[in-house]
Amino acid sequence: MNKVQPHSFFTDFDIDLFKAGKHYRLYEKLGAHLTEVDGQKGVYFAVWAPSAKAVSVIGDFNYWLEGEHPLNVRWDGSGIWEGFIPGIDKGTKYKYKIHSHHNDIKTEKADPFAFYCETPPNTASVVWNTKHGWKDTKWMATRQDKNGLDKPYSVYEVHLGSWRRAEGGRFLSYIELADQLVAYVKEMNFTHVEFMPVMEYPYDPSWGYQLVGYFAPTSRFGKPEDFMVLVDKLHQAGIGVILDWVPSHFPSDAHGLGFFDGTNLYEHPDIRKGYHPDWKSLIFNYGRNEVRSFLISNAVFWLDKYHIDGLRVDAVASMLYLDYSRADGEWEPNVFGGRENLEAASFLKDMNEEVYRSFTGVQTIAEESTSFPMVSRPTYIGGLGFGMKWMMGWMHDTLEYFKKEPIYRRHHQNDLTFSMTYAFTENFMLPLSHDEVVYGKHSILGRMPGDEWQRFGNLRLLYAFMFTHPGAKLLFMGSEFGQSGEWNFEQSLDWHLLDYDYHKGIKNLITALNKLYKKQPALYEKQFSADGFEWINYGDNENSVLSFIRKGNNPEDNLIIICNMTPVIREDYRIGIPVAGKLKELFNSDDGQFGGSGVTNKKLKTDDIPWNGRDYSAAMTLPPLGVMVFSVK
């Protein structure tokens, strides 16, 4: 076989962009690319290793021998090593052997830009050219109408390895999931799925949040084009796809990004900025231009090549604060003396600007747990530029409230109402995520107090309150049918629970709530605006009852919502109504099909009795632990 031949995919302009941190399509240049040079088929390799004094491609084609196929360093100071190796083909396994100037260290690394990787625990990269004939033209053409902030946004969060398993505990493949998962999500009326990280990761207990192959869907479930089939099928079913994306940290595995060329190349060299004490992982150097190009190219890659509709960015708070999980003396203030990581904030702004500039109808969503301002506001007015932000405060306060026995809830109504004091400072998504059903926190059902009926009644109440509260929604898999135990990533969800009526009722409830959310404009058109919400009465602590109005663009679409947070049936309960008319009960969480007791209100009309500061009112029966949704016509 011929040795390495000189060849390059890079222009001088590419190099200038790369050095400036502005090259956002690096996956077209760096990595391993099948190509043809002077009539010879083979692979062009390019890797960034500025502190190397020699770089070789080693693989199954040369018995993993260093020096057999050395790459050539570019003359321009970019630190890129490259070359064309004829005669090798798709499926070739390879790594880079890097001999560093730094202390004569040698590293053996997987390709940071590999499109495919060996299945862990094996660690080699695989030469691949992913091809798929997309059939989602209709979805992509109309995505802006399905994926906007004024549209219903109900997300089903999925861990692919444990949603459902085949006989014998085998993982379902991407192709099998394209049948089973797509049908299920469509049946449940969710508008989107969110996949916990699908990028290649070495350690199963990390759930995918410790990435090594940033440009490769994990081979645990099949080939890259198989993952494309899954995304395509979801799109054909009218379902958007969000990926968890992790630019916050990466593991120190020997074959990964850490100490890549014998130096701190991708990670920050200062341990106070480059090492995460909670996760024992490495933190990207957001001030290094080439690292910014790598990360933003990765965000763009999934939207470009895999037609992804949104990125949920993990652990944003850990990126934004220099003192995150650090004691005094373990961090250094920024140039202004503050604790904000200015380089990370600048990176996030650049990432969001590029994503929204280059792709129509996509969303970025920040998992950010602090009060950092303007996370989901445009960069041109000083924001970080995300489309949405997780409402962690709502999640924490609401779950704390629902853990309490109903008799004590009268003293804690502020836990539910407080969220409305800041609900419209950001575009909030309400999450009940995987983090809330692990590590001894119990399942969502497991948090609920009372006997069996009350536990399920409380769960129905929680979900109905969530879906009528302003904001987008996210529910972790298993929660939609009342999974009893905590989530275990090593096994399937407890699907056998659907043999029991109460669990089947929860599944029916979520299906109905998703349908209600999609059908009623008042629940989504102004879900991020104060104009879309009005309290009727938030002060009835004694009865633990909340009532409010959700508003759409058309006043005729407005909805009345009443929540009874106790198991007491309240008859003749009067609430103020802004207009005269007949009340139609559109939804009742106590309906028998959901496992409820069936206390409903069939025929109601307003009375000319002023109440709650409104000209009209209606007296009704409140179901136990129930939420009712009415239209007024």
Q: How far is CA 239 from CA 184, 258, 390, 478, in A?
A: 11, 37, 20, 19
Catalytic residue among 82, 194, 290, 314: 314
564, 626 Cβ separation under 8 angstroms: yes
Residue given tokens 């992509």 in the structure block: 140
CA distance linking residue 66 with residue 188, whole number of Å: 54
The total of other beta-carbon atoms located within 10 Å of residue 9's CB is 16
367 is catalytic: yes
CA distance linking residue 507 with residue 513, whole number of Å: 10
Query: Which amino acid, residue 320?
Result: L
97, 108 Cβ separation under 8 angstroms: yes
Residue 352 structure tokens = 């969001």
CA distance linking residue 345 with residue 349, whole number of Å: 6
89, 34 Cβ separation under 8 angstroms: yes
12 is catalytic: no
- Which residues, in sequence order, are bridge partners of residue 618? 575
The total of other beta-carbon atoms located within 10 Å of residue 443's CB is 21
Catalytic residue among 367, 368, 525, 590: 367
491, 169 Cβ separation under 8 angstroms: yes
DSSP 8-state symbol, 91: T
Number of H helices, E strands in the chain: 12, 28
The total of other beta-carbon atoms located within 10 Å of residue 11's CB is 10
DSSP 8-state symbol, 9: S
Q: Is 137 exposed, middle or buried (0-12, 13-18, 19+ CB in 10 A)?
A: exposed
Catalytically active residues are 314, 367
